[in-house]
Amino acid sequence: MGKLLRDLELFQPLRERIQAGLPVFGTCAGLILLAKEVDGGVPCLATMDIAVKRNAYGRQLGSFYTESDFWEIGSVPMTFIRAPYIASVSGRVQALASVDGKIVAARQENQLVTAFHPELNDDPRVHRYFLEMIAAQKRRRAL
């Protein structure tokens, strides 16, 4: 994905827009793209103060479903597919959810990331959280 972003000359404009406040929701591989540290790999956009463990839950056969608490939302369904997890957060990053002691969702200003795929379940609350995050950011900018 990083190579494609560079080949299409989208890497730098996208990175600059995110740094300027463009809201972004990185799911699974998107979480890895935004991370400043990636185990066994080179960071890509590196806009979020997180360290990531890639393929932390194994291969495709290691995919699984669970439910866990998400900050301010409550218990949400979580589908993991060859998922990463967040090994550590720093700076202004807020961990939002964890599974078995591993961080699986976090937020830093205009950026939201999840190691799981909320779009694969019928529960819209994580997406609603992102939309509310954007609305709050717009209200702050209007002041």
Q: Decide if 127 is catalytic.
A: no
Q: How far apart are CA 63 and CA 41, in angstroms?
A: 22
Give the active site residue among 16, 67, 119, 132.
Answer: 119
Candidate list 9, 67, 109, 117, residue with the active-site label: 117
132 given a catalytic annotation: no
For residues 3 and 86, give the distance between their C-alpha atoms in angstroms, rounded to a whole number: 23
What whole-number distance in Å separates Cα of residue 22 and Cα of residue 76?
26
Catalytic residue flag (residue 44): no
The DSSP result for 43-82, as a single string, is -SS--EEEEEETTTT-SGGG-EEEEEEETTTEEEEEEESS
Whole-number Å distance between alpha carbons of 63 and 77: 14
Which amino acids are annotated catalytic? 28, 117, 119
